[in-house]
Structure 1
């Protein structure tokens, strides 16, 4: 199992956080810091978490994603998961958070397709002056 690495790229108002390897206790802080910095950066409107190369996501890593999603909602920043492999999706589903987290329905060819009964909930932040 390879240790997780986290790379952040910004393109205008979008930040992509690419997570590679195994997200476990050794990498929770690294992921937490990257996601919360991305959500809190001035002018950011969208954070995309690319999990294409993520091989493991433990319960603590799931907690980091949920916390970042909540922070994004508070900050009125769109938060999306992409490239979610079948094993990582199963972890998110087993934890009961898959449907809570926004995810992109376009998937790289090597990831498992969604069943037709699966539904994603993309989070669009409320307009200024509206309650979240």
Structure 2
């Protein structure tokens, strides 16, 4: 499944909505979208993973890198709505709590 991304801005928050599989072949698209959201300078950046069907270590790395960048810039960064195998992978790797907060 191809990756689909959309970005919305609402009251000081940018949400990047992700659908499909986040893996080595698609992670550059996610990275670009999230970095653009952070670069726009909102107080808060949210990555909605409700429609993500798969995530590998490359996707997790991008989310962690994005969290660090947002933290360095004083922005709040979090993921929302991980489900199924994506939630399980994030939980098993120990990053779910870090990225959800």
Determine if the TM-score, normalized by the shorter chain, exceeds 0.5.
yes
Q: Which has the higher contact order (CA 8 A, sep 6+)?
A: 2
Equivalenced residues, count: 101
What pairs up with 1:1-132 in 2 under 5 angstroms? 2-42=1-41, 44-101=42-99, 103=100, 122=101
Q: Rg bigger for which structure?
A: 1
What is the Cα deviation at residue 99 of structure 1?
A: 2.2
Describe the SS at the equivalent of 2:97.
coil
Q: Secondary structure at the match of 2:37?
A: helix
Give the Cα–Cα distance (whole angstroms) in 2 for the partners of residues 82 and 96 of structure 1. Answer: 16
Task: Write 1 or 2 for the structure with the bigger share of strand.
Answer: 2
**TM-score (norm. length: structure 1):** 0.72
Q: Which runs of 5+ in 2 are unaligned?
A: none
Task: Show structure 1 runs of 5+ residues with no match.
Answer: 104-121, 123-132
3-state secondary structure, aligned to 1:100: helix
Higher helix share: 2
Asked if the contact 1:51/1:84 (under 8 Å) is kept, the reply is: yes
Q: CA shift at 1:82, angstroms?
A: 1.0
- Computed over aligned residues only, the root mean square deviation of the Cα atoms, in angstroms, reads 1.1
Q: Distance in 1 between matches of 2:50 and 2:6?
A: 13
Partner of 2:96, secondary structure, is coil
Counterpart CA distance in 1 for 2:9 and 2:74 is 18
Shift of 1:49: 0.7
Contact 1:45–1:77, Cα closer than 8 Å, also in 2: yes
